[in-house]
Amino acid sequence: MTERVGMGGGSFPMGSSPLDIKRALVACQEEPLGAHCDDRKIFFLAEAQVHEVTVSPYTIDRTEVTVAAYARCEAAGVCTPRAHGQRDPRFDRPDLPVTYVDWDAARAFCAWAGGRLPTEAEWELAARGSLGRQYPWGEVYNGFLCNHGAFAPDPSDASDGFAGLAPVGSFPDGATPSGIVDLAGNVAEWVADFYDVDPTGTPHGYSPLPQVDPRGPASGVFHVTRGGSYEDDAPRMRTASRMPELGPKATVGFRCAGDVR
């Protein structure tokens, strides 16, 4: 199974400040379709606001779950077959992150592997650390440290060496100080939490109150994905970025977490 990294837990600033969101919008405006960034503002506002979160010790996979690992779960009769990836060689190499799996299938794999999906707070702590890094590797964006895309008519961007998926761990210099890789780019990752929206579909930001081991809303239509994918631009590579998803996609995968006993 995938190596898990022990996280000591602790407190960190979760979410984005007004200045963080302003900077994200400025970065978005530098993209080829930057004139349309106001259409995306609602998703940036879903990161507001900064609040202190305390997380108990846990473990998290060093890499995203691979096609090979998921295939072993399928062979064991536990995991459901992927929706489309097994019929497309672009998504079927054993060392690629597994895609075309929905949230339930990801959760089933993690249980089979002796773990669970990370909570959104656990994922963000792993990515940004106790001081609140903007990117897994530090404060400054570097497009050579992750498998990213672009906010453009063609979202693929091969300037990082990959126009599509990359084998897991292809960007070791973009790792966190704890050695966790691909927390920015490659595939967006399912986490355990539902994505909170109001009756009109407008996403909610966070409560400003401190929280301990938050689990998100008890139900919802969408689930949260974190980290951005090979089709996402620089603002989506930020450690606070969060997006809603419904079902299996070529750009969505996952990694597992575990409790410390």
Which tops the pLDDT comparison, 79 or 88?
A: 79
Spatial separation of the C-alpha atoms in residues 166 and 108, rounded to whole Å: 24
Give yes or no for residue 88 having a pLDDT over 90: no
Q: Which two tokens stand for residue 250?
A: 């070529």
Burial class (CB in 10 A: 0-12, 13-18, 19+), 201: exposed
Q: Range of 78's domain?
A: 4-259
> Hey, is 16 helix, strand or coil?
coil
Give yes or no for residue 168 having a pLDDT over 90: yes
Q: For position 13, which CATH number holds?
A: 3.90.1580.10
Backbone angles phi, psi at 56, to 5 degrees: -70, 160
Cβ within 8 Å of residue 34, ≥6 positions away: 28, 151
Instruction: Give the Cβ contact number of residue 120 at 10 Å.
Output: 24
Q: Which two tokens stand for residue 159?
A: 């300037």
pTM of the model: 0.96
Torsion, Cα of 212, 63, 259, 102 (10° steps):
80
pLDDT tens for residues 183-220?
A: 999 999 999 999 998 888 889 899 999 999 999 999 99
pLDDT tens for residues 140-163?
A: 999 999 999 999 999 999 999 999
- Domain count of the fold of the chain: 1
Q: Using pLDDT thresholds of 50, 70 and 90, give the confidence band for residue 242.
A: very high
Give yes or no for residue 85 having a pLDDT over 70: no
